[in-house]
Amino acid sequence: MSQSNGRRGADVLAASLARAGVRRVFSLSGNHIMPLYDALLDQRIPIVHVRHEGAAVHMADAWARLTGEIGVALLTGGPGHANGLSALFTAQAAESPVVLLSGQAPLGQIGRGAFQELDQVALAAPLTKLSFAATSPQQVGHEFARAVSVAISGRPAPVYLSLPSDVLESSVDDLGSAVPQGAAFVPSVTPLSDGAATGIVSALRAATRPLVITGPASMTRRGRALGAALEQASGVAVVGMESPRGVNDPSLGAFSEVLARADLIVLVGKPIDFTLQLGAAIPAGSQVIVVDPDVALIERAQRALGVSRVVMSAVADSGAALTALASVAQRSGPAASAWRDEVRAAIAWRPAAWSTIVADSPGVLHPVEMCRALQPVLDSHPEAVLVADGGEIGQWAQACLSAPNRVINGVAGSIGAALPFALAAKIVYPQAPVIAVLGDGTFGFHPAEFDTAVREQAPFVAVVGNDQCWNAEYQIQLREYGVERAVGCELLPTRYDQVAVGFGGYGEQVTRGADLPAAVARAAASGRPACLNVMIERFAAPTFSRR
């Protein structure tokens, strides 16, 4: 076997990944990208190789959200690329800086019927902030740096760089200049001006019932810390939104009740979209200030709410804006916070009955009962991770559980990412418990990632709320068409725990609430990726009203 000569486009790209600080590449192999696999060896960048391309993109997404670094997915051309795209939708809605690299047919064969030839750049374009193809071995490193910089600048988002196989295989003229310097991989930051920050803080102080609402990019750990610092300094609640259920996100408790009474709402990187009922969730009497990296989204807010209600706007990145606002608020001294306490109480509100609720029927658990057994595990470690995915069960998990780190399917409302998310989380935090709560329907999207998790020695615990149903859709049928017209949503009492065992993981079925804590402990102690198949009652997710 010949060794790499270290001078291919693939070597330039691998060295550029190393220069960017990339620590893992999530991938599924294929003809077009094998030179890059070879080149990554020399850079000692491990490849986490998966069983479906969608899983690689989901892992890169979770990696990016949890680390604050870019997440890199590497796919093969044609069908491999196409398989990864729906996962890109989730990453895009989560404002997650994934850099997708897919091999493609060689430039020299485009239009001539090449193997797996496909317009991959066009396919990825609507799912990314930038979608483009590498042009030459000399340029591919700089093109990768551009992909990284665009992904992490402004509103973070996926970027796609297509890798023609001849670009990867051809020799480079000058390796030294082909690999960009570290400075090429930094974001360009748009700060909030001092004047704008001062104006916004004054408006917050003048308001009686102000709120700050942030978007998905601020739901990372760093984003939440910046929000908490602003809340601390200003006495104004800073509320992050990242759920497809918007203001009715069960993890926000009775937030919609206090939102309806707000008299000033500052949106920081939070688009007016369906999660705010296209603007209808903003109370008619309130004033609005919009801070956003995208002018188009400021204009959308003005169109949705009316120019006169948007009393101020500024173009700035969310993180920079939160930091600037906190520092101005800090300088202005402490602020009254009775209203903030009211907002926090509304968000924390859960029905009192939840602390003891159990299932009505034997052989199943109430979803709340299931979640109750998991919170102590999430409380047991400062880096614990909660993954929540699925229809109704994902919402139950979000309503009941909190953790230092949380990765949910997010605004995309797309199900299926839980197992890849959990695997990536366990690689990021090998010492911390990683609990993924998912539905039985959702389990079916990426079960083979138990195989990847066994190989990667990534022992997360997946807790499947098994109601033998695509319950979220079944609930719609009950509501809209009646039980006699429910169709296409029934599933079987499948032993998902045994699926995990078949892949070399740990598994148990749980049918009684009293058995769950010990089962969770055994799963954690097994040291293997685990699946607890918990039979649950089929309930609609909660919506909260304190009245």
Ligand X SMILES: Cc1ncc(C[n+]2csc(CCOP(=O)(O)OP(=O)(O)O)c2C)c(N)n1
Contact footprint for ligand X (CB under 6 A): 390-393, 413-416, 439-442, 465, 467, 469-473
How many helices (H) does the chain have, and how many strands (E)? 23, 17
Cβ proximity to ligand X, 105 vs 472, nearer residue: 472
Cβ proximity to ligand X, 39 vs 438, nearer residue: 438
We find the least distance from the C-beta atom of residue 186 to ligand X, in angstroms, to be 34
- Asked if 203 and 299 count as a contact pair (C-beta separation under 8 A), the reply is no
Cβ proximity to ligand X, 470 vs 544, nearer residue: 470
Cβ proximity to ligand X, 428 vs 534, nearer residue: 534
**DSSP class of 415:** -
Cβ proximity to ligand X, 110 vs 491, nearer residue: 491
CA proximity to 175, closest of 142, 145, 149: 142
Cβ proximity to ligand X, 256 vs 471, nearer residue: 471
Cβ proximity to ligand X, 93 vs 310, nearer residue: 93
Cβ proximity to ligand X, 319 vs 513, nearer residue: 513
We find the least distance from the C-beta atom of residue 201 to ligand X, in angstroms, to be 39
C-alpha atoms less than 13 angstroms from C-alpha of 350 in its C-beta half-sphere = 20
CB within 8 Å of 480: residues ≥ 6 apart: none
We find the least distance from the C-beta atom of residue 388 to ligand X, in angstroms, to be 11
Cβ proximity to ligand X, 235 vs 390, nearer residue: 390
We find the least distance from the C-beta atom of residue 440 to ligand X, in angstroms, to be 5
We find the least distance from the C-beta atom of residue 67 to ligand X, in angstroms, to be 25
We find the least distance from the C-beta atom of residue 438 to ligand X, in angstroms, to be 6
Distance CA 513, CA 14 (A): 50
Is residue 226 classed as helix, strand or coil in its secondary structure?
helix
CB within 8 Å of 157: residues ≥ 6 apart: 91, 92, 95, 96, 97, 128, 129, 151
The single-letter code of the amino acid at 254 is: A
- DSSP for 242-305? --TTGGG-GGGTTHHHHHTT-SEEEEES---SGGGGGGTTS-TT-EEEEEES-HHHHHHHHHHH
Sign of CA dihedral 9, 11, 13, 16: negative
Distance CA 479, CA 488 (A): 15
Catalytic residue among 69, 169, 383, 473: 473
We find the least distance from the C-beta atom of residue 231 to ligand X, in angstroms, to be 32
Please state, in angstroms and as integers, the Cα–Cα distance from residue 378 to each residue in 44, 69, 383, 385, following that order: 33, 24, 9, 7
CA proximity to 135, closest of 161, 173, 98, 97: 161
- Asked if 325 and 267 count as a contact pair (C-beta separation under 8 A), the reply is no
Cβ proximity to ligand X, 101 vs 437, nearer residue: 437
Is residue 311 classed as helix, strand or coil in its secondary structure?
strand
Task: Give the E-state strand segments of 115-205 in sequence order.
Answer: 130-133, 159-164
Bridge-partner residues for 465, per DSSP?
439, 534
Position with the least CB separation from ligand X:
439
Sign of CA dihedral 489, 494, 500, 502: negative
Residue 47 has phi, psi (to 5 degrees) of -105, 120
We find the least distance from the C-beta atom of residue 475 to ligand X, in angstroms, to be 8
We find the least distance from the C-beta atom of residue 389 to ligand X, in angstroms, to be 7
Does the active-site annotation cover 508?
Answer: no
Please state, in angstroms and as integers, the Cα–Cα distance from residue 475 to each residue in 350, 363, 369, following that order: 22, 22, 20
Calculate the dihedral angle through the C-alpha atoms of 394, 304, 226, 425, rounding to the nearest 10 degrees.
30
The pair of three-digit structure tokens given for residue 283, joined into one six-digit string: 């109370």
Bridge-partner residues for 531, per DSSP?
462, 507
Q: Which residues are catalytic?
A: 473
